[in-house]
Structure 1
C-alpha cells in the first residue's frame, strides 16, 4: 500500500508516523536494508507524506537514508544539536540502546513551511539500525 499524498495544510499525526516506521521495518524484512534506504530517499515514494518522512541511522549516528535531505547521507550527525542546543541524535542513540521503540522531541526544520518547529519523532531500533519518522504538532 502506498501512502496517500495529500495537498492540505495539516501535517501528519502520531499514529501515521508510527505506522510509517513500522511499514519501513516490514519493507526491510521483504526487500532488505539497501532497497529500503533507496525507497526512504525517494522524496515522492511511499515513505514520504506531507511533512512526514523517514530517516535511518546506525548506532554511531551515521545517516543511511533521509527522506527530506539527501545531503545528510553518509554523514555522522551524533554531534548535531537543535536550535536550543539539544544533542538530539546523541539522545536518540542513547534511547535506542535502552528501548526498542520510543518517542523523542526536539526542534527541527519543517520541510513544508521551511520554519524551525517542535518535532515529535517515533523511532524503532532493529539491531544496529534506528528508523525514525516525525511530525510537527503545530503544523
Structure 2
C-alpha cells in the first residue's frame, strides 16, 4: 500500500513539474528523431564530459529540451543524473517508478543498457501534453560505461 501511494505521489509530482506549454509547441517526435537525438547526446558527453553534458541536458531553457523531445540519464545503479523533463529528479533513485501495469520502467531502462548496450523500452506513462496515460517508447544507450541516457516519444 505504501509503495502504491509513493508511486502515485511521484507520478503526480512529475506531472506537476512538467512544462505543458513548452511541450505543446513542438510536433511529436518520431522514432528516427529520438534515435538521432540520443546519438547527439552521446556525442555531447564525449565532447564535453559527463558533468557538463548532464547539466546541459537538464537545462529546461537550453537546446536539449525540444518540447516532448528531451533527454534523461541515470547511473547504472538507478540514480537520475540528468532530466530535461523534470530536473527535480536529479539525485534521486528512480528504480521504483512503475507504470500503471506495474512495470518498473527505469529497471527496464537500466537493464536494456546493461544487457544490450542500447535499444527500445516500452511502457505506459502520462503524456505531458494530453495528461492521458499512453504508451511511451524510449530509446536508450549506455554512456561512458557508467550511465544510461535516453529519450522517447508518446504513441498517439
The two structures have a TM-score, normalised by structure 2, of 0.79
Tell me, in whole angstroms, the C-alpha distance in 2 between the residues paired with 1:47 and 1:9: 13
Which of the residues 79, 88, 93 maps onto 1:62?
Answer: 79
Partner of 2:131, secondary structure, is coil
Is there any run of 5+ residues in structure 1 with no aligned partner, and where? none
Deviations 1:56-94 (A, max 9, x none): 001111000011111111000112111111111112222
Which portions of structure 1, spanning 4 or more consecutive aligned residues, are displaced by more than 3 angstroms?
Answer: 5-10
1:136 partnered with 2:154? yes
1:16 partnered with 2:33? yes
Task: Note the 1:93-112 alignment, pairs <5 A.
Answer: 93-112=110-129
Deviations 1:94-117 (A, max 9, x none): 221111110010112222333322
Which of the residues 43, 49, 54 maps onto 2:60?
Answer: 43
- Does structure 1 conserve the Cα–Cα contact (< 8 Å) formed by 2:26 and 2:66? no
- C-alpha displacement of 1:47: 1.6
Aligned pair in 2 of structure 1 residues 30, 115: CA closer, same or farther (>3 Å)? same
- C-alpha displacement of 1:7: 6.4
CA RMSD in angstroms comes to 1.8
Question: Relative to structure 2, which stretch is displaced further, 35-44 or 106-115?
Answer: 106-115
Q: Which structure is higher in helix share? A: 2
Tell me, in whole angstroms, the C-alpha distance in 1 between the residues paired with 2:68 and 2:51: 24
